[in-house]
Structure 1
């Protein structure tokens, strides 16, 4: 199985705040790009719910590095792949 293109998954989200749909619910999601694009963060909250997704992406010399915030990487990847 090929690893996900982390940069492409982050780039799907517009910078700033957006409302998206994921897993049958509405989510508010923020994407912030820093350091000329070498560091990005995503923070999403289920609107009217309790679920949260949060992660940072670092573009290093050895490739993209995903750092989820207190959650498994699978949760972050499921959100990044599945939102509409």
Structure 2
């Protein structure tokens, strides 16, 4: 798991937010454990059935990406490409 991926994931807001990815509108929920050892992301394209979902676990100091019914390449592309809306309320 690259440091760039972890940095991009850390920049995504915790909780629900809306934003854009590949020209479409998305709703995304990011959950993080209090101890920082787990992150979970679920995103849905608004107006279509496209989605992205994964868990990230830190095991023995090493991050492990576990995509959920989503190819790892799509997960990585999504984290780098998702742009949260500035005034999400």
- When the two structures are superposed, what TM-score results if normalisation uses the length of structure 2? 0.84
Question: Pairwise CA RMSD of aligned residues?
Answer: 1.3
> 1:4 offset after TM fit, Å?
2.8
Partner Cα distance (1:40, 1:64) in 2: 10
- Counterpart in 2 of 1:79? 78
Partner Cα distance (1:10, 1:41) in 2: 10
- Counterpart in 1 of 2:57? 58
Consecutive unaligned residues of structure 2, counting only runs of 5 or more, are 84-89
Matched residue pairs, number?
Answer: 82
- Counterpart in 1 of 2:24? 25
- Counterpart in 1 of 2:2? 4
Partner Cα distance (1:57, 1:20) in 2: 21
List structure 1 segments (4+ residues) > 6 angstroms apart after TM superposition: none
Cα separation, partners in 2 of 1:38 and 1:62, compared to 1, 3 Å: closer
> Bigger relative contact order, structure 1 or 2, given CA contacts below 8 A and separation 6+?
2
Consecutive unaligned residues of structure 1, counting only runs of 5 or more, are none
